[in-house]
Copies of this chain bind each other. A is one copy, B any other.
Amino acid sequence: MATHKLLLLPGDGIGPEVMGEVKRLIDWLNAAGIAKFETDTGLVGGAAYDAHKVSISEGDMVKAKDADAVIFGAVGGPKWDAVPYEVRPEAGLLRLRKDLALFANLRPAVCYPALADASSLKREAVEGLDIVIVRELTGGVYFGEPKTITDLGNGQKRAIDTQVYDTYEIERIGRVAFELAKKRKNKVTSMEKRNVMKSGVLWNEVMTQVHKREYPDVTLEHQLADSGGMMLVKWPKQFDVIVTDNLFGDMLSDIAAMLTGSLGMLPSASLGEVDVKSKKRKALYEPVHGSAPDIAGKGLANPIAMISSFGMALRYSFDMGALADKVDAAIAAVLASGLRTADIKSEGTTAASTTQMGEAILKEL
Residue pair B202, A229 in contact (C-beta under 8 Å): no
CB contacts under 8 Å to B, within A128-159, are 141-142, 144, 147-149, 152, 155-159
Is the CB of A94 closer than 8 A to any CB of chain B? yes
Given contacts A149-B198, A149-B202, A197-B161, contact A167 B141 (CB under 8 A): no
A262 CB to nearest chain B CB (Å): 12
Is the CB of A195 closer than 8 A to any CB of chain B? yes
Is the CB of A268 closer than 8 A to any CB of chain B? no
Residue pair B255, A201 in contact (C-beta under 8 Å): no
Is the CB of A121 closer than 8 A to any CB of chain B? yes
Assembly CA distance A147 to B144 (angstroms)? 13
Residues of B contacting A94 in the complex (Cβ-Cβ under 8 angstroms): 196
Assembly CA distance A193 to B76 (angstroms)? 14
Residues of B contacting A263 in the complex (Cβ-Cβ under 8 angstroms): 230
Partner of A157, one of B147, B161, B166, B259: B166
Residues of B contacting A342 in the complex (Cβ-Cβ under 8 angstroms): none
Residue pair A255, B227 in contact (C-beta under 8 Å): no
Residue pair B233, A250 in contact (C-beta under 8 Å): no
Within the oligomer, what is the number of copies of this chain?
2
Q: Report the interface size class on chain A.
A: 35 or more
Partner of A152, one of B149, B166, B199: B166
Assembly CA distance A320 to B78 (angstroms)? 46
Residue pair A159, B201 in contact (C-beta under 8 Å): yes
Is the CB of A234 closer than 8 A to any CB of chain B? yes
Assembly CA distance A144 to B196 (angstroms)? 11
Residue pair A230, B258 in contact (C-beta under 8 Å): yes
Residues of B contacting A158 in the complex (Cβ-Cβ under 8 angstroms): 164-167
Assembly CA distance A230 to B109 (angstroms)? 13
Is the CB of A187 closer than 8 A to any CB of chain B? no
Given contacts A226-B254, A230-B254, A258-B233, contact A159 B121 (CB under 8 A): no
Q: Which residue of B lies closest to A93 (CB)?
A: B195
CB contacts under 8 Å to B, within A192-251, are 193, 195-199, 201-203, 225-227, 229-230, 233-235, 247-248, 250-251
Assembly CA distance A166 to B150 (angstroms)? 9
Most buried by B among A76, A201, A226, A227: A226
Residue pair B122, A160 in contact (C-beta under 8 Å): no
Q: Mark A35-48, 1 if CB is under 8 A from B, else 0.
A: 00000000000000
Is the CB of A162 closer than 8 A to any CB of chain B? yes
Q: Which residue of B lies closest to A225 (CB)?
A: B251
Closest 8 CB pairs of A and B: A159-B202, A159-B199, A230-B258, A161-B163, A90-B195, A226-B254, A159-B198, A120-B125
Residues in chain A within 8 A of chain B (CB atoms): 76, 85, 88, 90, 94, 120-122, 125, 141-142, 144, 147-149, 152, 155-168, 193, 195-199, 201-203, 225-227, 229-230, 233-235, 247-248, 250-251, 254-255, 257-259, 263, 290
Having A85-B198, A163-B163, A226-B250, one finds 19 other A-B pairs with CB under 8 Å, namely A90-B196, A121-B233, A122-B122, A141-B163, A142-B196, A144-B160, A147-B198, A148-B198, A149-B202, A156-B168, A157-B167, A157-B202, A158-B164, A158-B166, A160-B164, A160-B198, A161-B199, A230-B255, A255-B255
